[in-house]
């Protein structure tokens, strides 16, 4: 049964948040294995470019490549580690807080094709962080008599769509007179068992916008947000599990038209998210939530709503790690690299496409918004093998194919990272 979202409790100001809790950023990287398509590639073949150093290692010694970059992480999961070890190591400890009324957020962030959806959803044989979290919450509910509702929506081209509604209707994001963000009409569905959840969630996944791109056969074109709302003895807590759309380097994707527009919006909103996290972690006086729809919506879970004395927030990301958590950045003496070999003016390309679109109306417009869906996953695990460029993973060595800033190097790596904000209790 769908019910409207109730009014959230009042949000504390940024000042209150800082006085209530000192955020600590937790960054966890996951490396995926090379895919068969990458191993079979006729090109250069996959080149591992990441190594894990001990805390006392000197990054300067690792000078096998002209440019090394070194990032400090809170945890690292290699390709041998299953999704359950990530869940037990990094996510399960957030759940007890949700039962006490805290909000927690887990983001999977990374380049397109790096395995974010795989990590969040998993496969039938290897469940991902979403089913593992749901299963743990459901079993805790049995013993505590708490109840669970879910909301599932996507943010696409800076608009929000309800994935639990058959037609994925648009949800208006409004601010009430107290400045609190309201998602008008967003459905909430009560969940009592795993089979019930799997069915509801799978239908939502089918509605999510995906498409074939030059770097992933089944690429998410939107940010998918699953909110698990737990009501427990008067306390209401929320766990957001977010599969972000992948950031894309359009010199490599070859994106055109609508894909290019999507990509521009994806990159813009990921940048806005990184700005919010940076501002929170650096105790800046102004947190730029309003820069994108995604950050406005998540305001109550990204430092916006802190239950006094206890709230946990986790964010998975890599380039955010580069910005907010990196400790050492070692650049070898001969590391001055020229930037990209192929220079394409993506803005001009986008402008030209928008102009031609308004002339020819050749792009499919549905329900007042673009409909780019060219294929859908049949089950939670049905994504086809990706064709992402075979690069590898947190000492990152530049072998010549990923030049420029650390940000771009990290984009090239098939990695994820987590940020967790822990209050000082």
Ligand X SMILES: Nc1ncnc2c1ncn2[C@@H]1O[C@H](COP(=O)(O)OP(=O)(O)OP(=O)(O)O)[C@@H](O)[C@H]1O
- Cβ pair 137, 98 in contact under 8 A: yes
Instruction: List the one residue from 8, 59, 110, 237 that touches ligand X (CB under 6 A).
Output: 110
CA distance 331 to 59: 9
Task: Annotate 105-174 with DSSP letters as a single string.
Answer: EEEE--BTTSSHHHHHHB-SSSB-HHHHHHHHHHHHHHHHT-EEEEEEEEEETTEEEETTSTT--EEEEE
Q: Look at residues 245, 223, 239 and name the one whose alpha carbon lies nearest to residue 301.
A: 239
Task: Confirm or reject binding of residue 386 to ligand X (CB under 6 A).
Answer: yes
Q: Look at residues 54, 146, 148, 104 and name the one whose alpha carbon lies nearest to residue 395.
A: 54
CA distance 326 to 413: 16
H/E run at residue 358: helix 346-360
Task: Confirm or reject binding of residue 219 to ligand X (CB under 6 A).
Answer: yes
Taking phi first (over 0 means left), then psi (-120 to 50 degrees means alpha), and beta for anything else, what does residue 145 get?
A: left
Residue matched to tokens 């955010």: 320
Number of residues that bind ligand X (CB under 6 A): 21
Annotated binding site: 110-117
CA distance 363 to 345: 22
Task: Confirm or reject binding of residue 269 to ligand X (CB under 6 A).
Answer: no
Task: Confirm or reject binding of residue 127 to ligand X (CB under 6 A).
Answer: no
Interior angle at CA 29, CA 68 and CA 79, nearest 5? 95
Residue by residue, what is the 3-state secondary structure of 84-113? HHHHHHHHHHHHHHHHCCCEEEEEECCECC
Instruction: List the one residue from 245, 277, 294, 320 that touches ligand X (CB under 6 A).
Output: 245
Q: Which residue is nearest to ligand X (CB)?
A: 246
Task: Confirm or reject binding of residue 403 to ligand X (CB under 6 A).
Answer: no
Instruction: List the one residue from 115, 204, 237, 303 that touches ligand X (CB under 6 A).
Output: 115
Give the nearer residue to ligand X in terms of CB position, either 115 or 406.
115
Task: Confirm or reject binding of residue 114 to ligand X (CB under 6 A).
Answer: yes
Count Cβ atoms below 10 Å from residue 309 Cβ, excluding itself. 12
Residues 17-36 binding ligand X (CB under 6 A) are: 32-33, 35
Q: State the binding string over 59-98 for ligand X (x if CB under 6 A, else -).
A: ----------------------------------------
- Cβ pair 273, 138 in contact under 8 A: no
Task: Confirm or reject binding of residue 316 to ligand X (CB under 6 A).
Answer: no
Q: State the binding string over 354-383 for ligand X (x if CB under 6 A, else -).
A: -----------------------------x
Tokens of 94: 């957030």
Give the nearer residue to ligand X in terms of CB position, either 115 or 372.
115
Give the nearer residue to ligand X in terms of CB position, either 23 or 114.
114
Label residue 200 exposed, middle or buried (CB < 10 Å: 0-12, 13-18, 19+): middle
Give the nearer residue to ligand X in terms of CB position, either 100 or 376.
376
Q: Look at residues 310, 313, 309, 318 and name the one whose alpha carbon lies nearest to residue 300.
A: 313
Task: Confirm or reject binding of residue 391 to ligand X (CB under 6 A).
Answer: no
Strands 28-31 and 75-77 come out as: parallel
Stretch that binds ligand X, among 111-119, 140-148, 149-157, 293-301 (CB under 6 A): 111-119
Annotated binding site for ATP: 110-117
Stretch that binds ligand X, among 114-122, 163-171, 226-234, 393-401 (CB under 6 A): 114-122
Task: Confirm or reject binding of residue 307 to ligand X (CB under 6 A).
Answer: no
Instruction: List the one residue from 23, 102, 117, 227 that touches ligand X (CB under 6 A).
Output: 117
- Cβ pair 163, 153 in contact under 8 A: yes
Query: Which phi and psi angles does 175 have, rounded to 5°?
Result: -110, 130
CB of 394 to ligand X, least distance (A): 17
Task: Confirm or reject binding of residue 385 to ligand X (CB under 6 A).
Answer: yes
CB of 1 to ligand X, least distance (A): 31
Task: Confirm or reject binding of residue 227 to ligand X (CB under 6 A).
Answer: no
CB of 359 to ligand X, least distance (A): 30
Q: State the binding string over 35-64 for ligand X (x if CB under 6 A, else -).
A: x-----------------------------
Stretch that binds ligand X, among 144-152, 214-222, 252-260, 336-344 (CB under 6 A): 214-222
Give the nearer residue to ligand X in terms of CB position, either 118 or 197.
118
Give the nearer residue to ligand X in terms of CB position, either 110 or 390.
110
Interacting residue ranges for ligand X, rule: CB under 6 A: 32-33, 35, 110, 112-118, 216, 218-220, 245-246, 383-386
């Amino acid at each position: 049964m769908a019910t409207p979202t109730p009014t959230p409790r009042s949000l504390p100001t940024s000042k209150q948040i800082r006085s209530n809790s000192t955020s600590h950023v937790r960054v966890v990287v996951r490396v995926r294995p090379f895919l068969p398509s990458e191993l079979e590639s006729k090109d250069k073949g996959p080149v591992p470019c990441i190594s894990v150093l001990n805390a006392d290692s000197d990054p300067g010694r690792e000078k096998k490549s002209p440019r090394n970059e070194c990032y400090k992480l809170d945890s690292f999961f290699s390709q041998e580690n299953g999704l359950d070890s990530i869940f037990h190591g990094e996510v399960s400890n957030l759940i007890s807080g949700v039962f006490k009324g805290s909000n927690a957020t887990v983001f999977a962030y990374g380049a397109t094709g790096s395995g974010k959806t795989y990590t969040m959803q998993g496969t039938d044989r290897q469940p991902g962080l979403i089913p593992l979290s749901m299963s743990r919450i459901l079993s805790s509910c049995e013993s505590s008599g708490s109840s669970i509702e879910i909301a599932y929506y996507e943010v696409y081209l800076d608009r929000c769509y309800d994935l639990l509604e058959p037609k994925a209707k648009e949800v208006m994001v409004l601010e009430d007179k107290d400045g609190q963000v309201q998602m008008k009409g967003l459905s909430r569905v009560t969940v009592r068992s795993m089979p019930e959840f799997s069915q509801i969630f799978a239908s939502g996944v089918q509605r999510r916008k995906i498409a074939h791109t030059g770097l992933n056969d089944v690429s998410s074109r939107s940010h998918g947000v699953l909110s698990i709302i737990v009501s427990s003895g008067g306390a209401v807590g929320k766990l957001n599990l977010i599969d972000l759309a992948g950031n894309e380097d359009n010199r490599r994707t070859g994106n055109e038209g609508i894909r290019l527009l999507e990509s521009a919006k994806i990159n813009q909103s990921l940048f806005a998210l990184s700005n919010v996290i940076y501002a929170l972690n650096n105790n800046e006086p102004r947190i730029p939530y309003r820069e994108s729809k995604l950050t406005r919506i998540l305001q109550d879970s990204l430092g916006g709503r802190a239950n006094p004395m206890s709230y946990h927030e986790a964010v998975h990301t890599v380039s955010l790690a580069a910005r907010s958590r990196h400790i050492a950045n070692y650049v070898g003496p001969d590391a001055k690299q020229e930037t990209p070999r192929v220079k394409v003016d993506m803005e001009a390309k986008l402008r030209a496409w928008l102009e031609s679109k308004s002339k020819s109306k050749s792009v499919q417009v549905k329900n007042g918004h673009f409909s780019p869906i060219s294929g859908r996953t049949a089950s939670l695990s049905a994504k086809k093998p990706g064709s992402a460029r075979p690069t590898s993973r947190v000492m990152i060595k530049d072998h010549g194919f990923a030049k420029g800033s650390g940000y771009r190097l990290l984009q090239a790596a098939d990695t994820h990272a987590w940020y967790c904000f822990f209050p000082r209790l």
